[in-house]
């Protein structure tokens, strides 16, 4: 399976007929999971920035978590 993932790309592994995991080459995983920029940069680049969108906060009471 490792050789196939390296030669052909991601390999799906199933358990009892259901897709469970995917085996991918380490280089591909690192490339796809690399973080680009910060959260602040993400929000700064938003197309809604400067749109004066008004979001109202819910004033609900905290919910009981039964502790």
Reported confidence tier of residue 8, pLDDT bands at 50, 70, 90 = very high
Give a yes or no: residue 35 inside a domain.
Answer: yes
pLDDT of res. 10: 95
Q: Is residue 7 part of a domain?
A: yes
pLDDT tens readout for residues 33-42: 988 889 999 8
CA nearest neighbour of 5 among 20, 21, 25, 32: 25
Number of domains in the chain: 1
Please give the residue range of the domain that contains residue 40.
2-44
- Cα dist from 2 to 7, 27, 39, 62, whole Å: 9, 13, 35, 49
On whether residue 62 sits in a domain, the answer given is no
Q: What value does the mean pLDDT of the chain take?
A: 91
The DSSP element (H or E) to which 12 belongs, if any, is strand 11-15
What does pTM read for this prediction? 0.52
DSSP 21: E
């Amino acid at each position: 399976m490792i050789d196939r993932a390296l030669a052909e790309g991601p390999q799906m592994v199933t358990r009892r007929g259901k897709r469970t995991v995917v085996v991918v080459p380490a280089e591909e995983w690192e490339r796809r999971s690399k973080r680009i920029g910060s959260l602040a940069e993400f929000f700064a680049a938003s197309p809604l920035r400067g749109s004066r969108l008004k979001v109202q906060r819910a004033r609900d009471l905290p919910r009981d978590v039964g502790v």
